[in-house]
Structure 1
Amino acid sequence: MGHPTPPAWYVISLRPQGGHDALRRAARRHGAGLLALSPWRIQPCDDAATRQALEKALACPVVVVTSPAAVSAAQALASLQVQRGSTWLAVGAGTAAALRRAGVPASSPRRMDSEGLLAMPALQDIRGIDIGFITAPDGRNLLVPTLQARGAQVHRAEVYRREPLALPPRALDTLASLDRPACLLLSSAGALEQVLPQLPPAAAARFLTASVVAASARLVGVARAAGFSEVVQADGPRPAQLMKSASTVMAPRIR
């Protein structure tokens, strides 16, 4: 029985531990393998202070949710009941879909990032409005200061935290010795900041030769500042969007 043929190319995922499956499936459809470098794991919060903060956030006339992980963590703490006349907003389509599965009608911007959310009509005339903000510590740093500058009262509920992880030696060895074309799928600046200092010299050198598909214009700048030379922007952060751009970028290099 022969060995399986290795993929013609690889994508590198920096998503949280246990969060690579959708990207792995999308990569497989394009003939790519996936190298997982998880810099953290998602740890839901379950304490009285978090429950109280979430209760206040859910009572607001406008509720902003920043990620599918925030939806899941909030659901574990409370029933996500929609108040009469309230508006629920999600940073991206994946978060909006998670909210709808929880029974909450939610809108998301076509441009699935902080800037896109801030451009939505519901967040323009908000002086004196209470806005619930369901997220993680340090999540979406641009949003809260901007909402406050527009006069909103932001009630933040940090329903999960990111616990840093050491990168597995086996994954680092695989990265250092990778002899196939590789593309980094970048959807989090914080994840990249966690990964870079952990890379030994050989792995770091190989990592920085990868092409980058970034989920937003802001992340394009982050990747270039980190030292990547080939960076393109995808249409959004969803696996299919990232892989569509990655396959286009990598097509000339795949044997």
Structure 2
Amino acid sequence: MIELSPWTIRSENTAVARAALASALQSAHVLVTSPNAARALRDLCAADARAAASSLPQPPQRDGQAWYAVGSGTAQALAESGIVGVRWPERMDSEGLLALPGLQRFDAGEAVGLLTAPGGRGVIAPTLAARGAQVRRADIYRREPARLDRFMVARLSQARAPLLLALSSGEALQRVLAQLPPPAAARLREARVSAASERLAQSAREAGFVDVGVAAGPGARELLAPLAHGDRG
């Protein structure tokens, strides 16, 4: 496996982030946008519990509170922190999440906590606000730009076997291509793409990839299914 990650993930353990999280966790509905957000929630709650003056609810889930995850991986990460009854969509992306029945309309002032990170497509918050929700956003982790691992870039350049690119982030793809030397970028574009959604598949085509397919879901098992089935890649 060749790992090409253009950033590192860090929990946002600051007073501002903890205050925003405390407010979000008081909402009737809580949306978690990624496994990274779920892990940051766990980290911040654990750090807060060790503090002399904690502000976050322990445990973070309140009775009667509805929790939503963008996909099954995020729901699993929340379950590891003891958060149960999490709802997630069959189409595991922002559009699928926003299509869930419990998120279609809100009473005036009804609060929705959004646990996420800066950046991204910015679809969820304005859509919820347009449906009447008071969105309480908490950016509880961040993506920090990082240089690609030189060893991994060399492995990509020297690879002779057919490649499969498991694509779950359009922003990550753009950052990777921007950092790769031209020969390595050309080699990557020869890969078969297994995209987590049609939107990402279109992004791959626009980036110059030709052999592009859409996986059954965004999880590792779905993205790597062509390998398990003995397909090219």
Could you tell me whether the CA contact under 8 Å between 2:21 and 2:115 is conserved in 1?
yes
* Comparing 62-71 and 76-85, the one that deviates more: 76-85
Deviations 1:140-193 (Å, cap 9, x if unpaired)?
521112112222111111111011111122221221121110010000111112
Report SS of the residue matched to 2:2: strand
Work out which of the residue numbers 91, 96, 107 in structure 2 matches 1:116: 96
Moved more, 72-81 or 163-172: 72-81
Aligned to 1:57: 24
TM-score between the two structures when normalised by the length of structure 2: 0.89
Q: Give yes or no for the alignment of 1:206 onto 2:173.
A: no
Aligned to 2:87: 107
**AA partner of residue 10 (structure 2):** Q
- CA deviation map 1:54-110 (0-9, x unaligned): 000000000000111111111222244222321000000011111122111211111
Aligned to 1:43: 10
Match of 1:97 in 2: 76
Return the alpha-carbon distance in structure 1 between the equivalents of residues 228 and 160 of structure 2.
18
Is 1:221 paired with 2:188?
no
Please give the per-residue CA displacement for 1:122-155, whole angstroms capped at 9, x wherever unaligned.
1101253211000111145211121122221111
Q: State the distance in 2 between where 1:247 and 1:75 align.
A: 33
In the alignment, which residue of structure 2 is the partner of 1:23? none
Tell me the alpha carbon deviations over residues 197-224 of structure 1, each in whole angstroms, 9 at most, x when there is no partner: 1011110110111110001111111111
Q: Which residue of 2 aligns with 1:137?
A: 118
Shift >3 Å, 4+ stretches? 245-248
Q: CA deviation at 1:45?
A: 1.0
State the match for 2:54 in structure 1. none
**Cα 1:80/1:212, change in 2 over 3 Å:** farther
Cα RMSD of the aligned pairs, angstroms, is 1.5
TM-score (norm 1): 0.82
Partners of 2:105 and 2:133 within 8 A in 1: no
| Corresponding residue of 2:147 | 166
AA partner of residue 93 (structure 2): D
Residue of structure 2 in register with 1:240 after alignment: 221
With over 3 angstroms needed to count, the CA separation of the structure-2 counterparts of 1:171 and 1:223, relative to structure 1, is same
Structure 1 stretch displaced more, 138-147 or 195-204: 138-147
Match of 2:38 in 1: 71
Inter-partner Cα distance in structure 2 for 1:101 and 1:172 = 34
Q: Is the 8 A contact 1:213 1:246 kept in 2?
A: no
**Which consecutive residues of structure 2, in runs of 5 or more, have no partner in the other structure?**
46-57
Residues of 2 paired with 1:169 and 1:77: CA distance? 32
Q: Residues 122 and 182 from structure 1, CA distance in 2 versus in 1: closer, same or farther, beyond 3 angstroms? A: same
Matching residue of 2:50 = none
Contact 1:58 1:80 in 2 (8 A): no
Letter in 2 for 1:114: S
Residue number in structure 2 paired with 1:21: none
Question: SS state of the match for residue 97, structure 1?
Answer: helix
- Taking a change above 3 Å as real, the CA distance of residues 140 and 188 of structure 1, as seen in their structure-2 partners, is same
- Tell me the secondary structure at the aligned position of residue 212 of structure 1: strand
Unaligned segments of structure 1, at least 5 residues: 1-33
Conserved in 1, the CA contact under 8 Å of 2:11 and 2:44? no
Counterpart of 1:179 in structure 2 is: 160
